[in-house]
Amino acid sequence: MTAIDHRIAVRRHTVREAGARRRLGQVIVVISFFVVVALIALLFKSPLMAVRQIEVTGSGHSNVAVVLERHNVAPGVPTISVRAGALAADIEADPWVARARATVTWPGTVVLTVLEHEPIAWVEIGDDWYRASATGAVLEQTSPTKRAARIRLGGLSAMPGDTLTGRKVTAALEFLAMLPQELRRRALVTSAGDGTLAARIAGHLVDLGSPVEMREKAAALTAILAGGVADRAAISLVSPVRPAIRNPQQAVEG
């Protein structure tokens, strides 16, 4: 009976030791995990993993510097703290920006690629003038320059950051965007009533008709003026495949 008790006691002692070793091993694993995590965290926050270079391309009108400051992105900050998605989204909130992309390259490079809207004309909105792109993006409120292309239709309402969607204004923007730069200077597109458009371009009155086929009408006008017409001749592009030209003398006789 004594021998049996001794074996039982030895067995219990062995089981307790095995359990203790398992628990010790588990504790060592947990401690090792947290030590490794702490070391990695220290490494990512060390100067070796800090932002060293910030590259910005495509930014002209947009103020990327303000966005970087708002997100605390600057040389010396931990690269791991840079949130590329949030950074790009904030840059795209600028009315001038069509698209933005932020890329973080380890150990410490942040690359910002910005695609800005290209202003085509000044659009009269309410009592003010706003620069707008060919896609209708309203960019900023500012007075037209002397050589500015302008659109005056009436009844428009928008603010920087909005997109103009009216049929007439989108057609006018498309028409001006398709003109060569020399013809776009000082061009003025207006509403002619009954849903039609008119323009004054290079000293000529142009009847644009309905706000359709604007690319074809711009191409037809470019070809007509390149071929030479009398000063102040009136040009009808109601049908771009059958344009009509009326010289000033004809207008007087009529």
Domains 49-116 and 119-253 are alike in CATH topology: no
- State the average pLDDT for the chain: 85
E strand spans, the chain: 53-57, 97-105, 109-116, 119-125, 128-133, 138-141, 150-152, 188-193, 196-201, 204-209, 234-236, 244-246
Distances (CA, A) of 186 to 5, 153, 176, 183: 110, 16, 11, 8
- Contacts (Cβ under 8 Å, ≥6 apart) of 115: 58, 97, 98, 99, 100
**Each residue's pLDDT tens digit, 115-133:** 999 999 999 999 999 999 9
pLDDT at 21: 65
pLDDT at position 24: 61
Residue 41 has pLDDT above 60, yes or no: no
Instruction: Check pLDDT > 60 for residue 46.
Output: no
- pTM score of the predicted model: 0.74
Superfamily of domain 49-116: membrane protein fhac (3.10.20.310)
Of residues 193 and 2, which shows the higher confidence score?
193
Q: Render pLDDT for 239-248 as a digit per residue (tens, 0 to 9).
A: 999 999 988 7
CATH class of 119-253: alpha beta
215-253 confidence digits (pLDDT tens)? 999 999 999 999 888 888 999 999 999 999 988 765 444
Report the alpha-carbon distance of residue 39 to residue 238 in Å, rounded: 74
Examine the pLDDT at 35 and tell me if it is beyond 60. Answer: no
DSSP three-state, residue 19: helix
Q: Show me where the domains of the chain are located.
A: 1-44, 49-116, 119-253
Whole-number Å distance between alpha carbons of 156 and 153: 7
